[in-house]
Chains A and B, each alone.
Chain A
């Protein structure tokens, strides 16, 4: 039977205060900027929804949004199945368990800008190890500073390297919680490895997978530091994702109004897609 204790609210109160302070207050500032025009000196002029309209209609925004969706889609399509496969092939017992867990956790422990710099140096043609190897040993024409395709592949691989571990660790936690009896029963029922995956492992991983997909969606949709350090959004605008574009507008051009409107739109899209994901993935349980 479920229990409920009203006292819990007292403990949550400080957190609510904190959230209000560091999320709600700045957000209200952004809302404030998004509906006004300013020319400095703290002078503001009412602009209404003009900025929103301008942003939504602009080709630049639409292009960045398209790149953003493409990036996130690729990330999810690669990292989720790959994470599941890696988790399935990890040992469940014995000496190698902690070794694997540490190895998996390592990429996640590296600061984001360091990841960007690492991959930048690693992949630079001529000086980078990978860049040199691909160009001068294998003879493949690869230059992420000049070719959009090379840049895209590098950004995606970097993210896969950095974040697949998260999916792996979450899936692994789901897998080890399955009692042995299930595997024994499946053996007795003559189930194939695919059936074991489809009818035992996947259903038992469902909750953690939902969390993994949501986290990876939100993170990859809001990603900034790593691609910025790696490619700076280039070559050209080819890897300019939404967040990079937003920073360019806000801090590069100092267009605060459009930038504020854009970040609210950005936020609304993230929220909406997360909500749709969550509803779809938990729909079955509610029935």
Chain B
């Protein structure tokens, strides 16, 4: 378990991490999701002891480690760039932290081989990093983190520099690799899809703050504020202006439906692109007509960007749908999937 208690980070007079309180548990992935510069790496460095904390505390398993050296925290860190010792073989790379810890030779061998098997590195154990592909180099770095007995493993966008398909494969294996190792796993990413695939818990980050934390699928479905909804969406979530008056919601660009338990006023409504479809999916669907600006056909999905009043919308639907750019099309949206936010960005319904 890692706890941050009102921890902040400052460089000069610039606050990089605002007071953050967060408890990360073992047994599942803890994902830090946010755009570049939102503070994911800073937060990891604070927990790893690589960056000093301006105020507040960091605790590991209840022990205050705020002033403890990185070397003494028993942690592993895998970086976005493939960091290996270039002059050592894969075996020695994986074994190096174990040797530093003074482990017996026979035990080192066992552990290295176990980690190498998990990451399919067995045939490459005697090669040097420059003879390996990018994927194999990153797997070596991951194997080093797995072989080492750590209380916490920090993975800072470890897949960002790999090929798409390779990313997909490794992403699927990762949760299993760390399962049952008793370490807190923290995974930073800027891709919402990656957070969903890894599951576990997710902390949404924006501008040096954690905006929401909870089980990944929960916060995907129930964002507490408009910023969280935007951060956790790929493709970007549709946000439109809506006026509620007398239990009736009306979009600025036309189209209305019944709402319950909402006071009259101006709101923002957010709905994910795949909930806006070119075919009617339920009787409750609201019809939106809009001029198609761009279409994208990915084989499995069709998407259309359309203009509805002054708001730009995106529809994403499975299958092949013929859209004509520049023409009006009808789209359908089930209000059950709408989330409402006040002018201050806070969720209201």
Contacts and interface: CB of A to CB of B under 8 A. Distances in A.
A and B in contact, CB less than 8 Å: yes
Interface of A: 1-6
A184 B52 CA distance: 43
Interface of B: 11-12, 16, 37, 39, 41-42, 45, 50-52
Contacts of B37: 1
A6 B52 contact: yes
A5 to B, nearest CB: 6
Contact of A4 (B12, B39, B41): B12
Given A1-B39, A1-B41, A4-B51, 5 more contacts: A2-B11, A3-B50, A4-B11, A4-B12, A5-B52
Nearest to A2: B11
A5 B51 CA distance: 7
Contacts of A6: 52
Contacts of A5: 51-52
Nearest to A4: B11
Contact of B52 (A1, A2, A4): A4
A242 B37 CA distance: 52
B42 A1 contact: yes
B47 to A, nearest CB: 14
18 contacts: A1-B11, A1-B16, A1-B37, A1-B39, A1-B41, A1-B42, A2-B11, A3-B11, A3-B45, A3-B50, A3-B51, A4-B11, A4-B12, A4-B51, A4-B52, A5-B51, A5-B52, A6-B52
A6 to B, nearest CB: 6
Task: Report, nearest first, the 7 A-B pairs whose CB atoms are least far apart.
Answer: A4-B11, A3-B51, A2-B11, A1-B42, A1-B16, A5-B52, A6-B52
A14 B346 CA distance: 54
A5 B50 CA distance: 8
B16 to A, nearest CB: 6
A2 B42 CA distance: 9
B51 to A, nearest CB: 5
A6 B52 CA distance: 8
Nearest to B37: A1
A1 B39 CA distance: 8
Contacts of B41: 1
A261 B11 CA distance: 42
Q: Interface centre among A1, A5, A6, by most B CB within 10 Å?
A: A1
B276 to A, nearest CB: 37
A3 B45 CA distance: 9
A4 B41 CA distance: 14
A4 B16 CA distance: 11
Contacts of B51: 3-5
Nearest to B36: A1
Nearest to A3: B51
Contacts of B12: 4
Nearest to A6: B52
Contacts of A3: 11, 45, 50-51
A3 to B, nearest CB: 5
Nearest to B41: A1
Nearest to A5: B52
Nearest to B16: A1
A98 B42 CA distance: 41
Contacts of B11: 1-4
A175 B97 CA distance: 39
Contacts of B52: 4-6
A144 B41 CA distance: 64
A4 B17 CA distance: 13
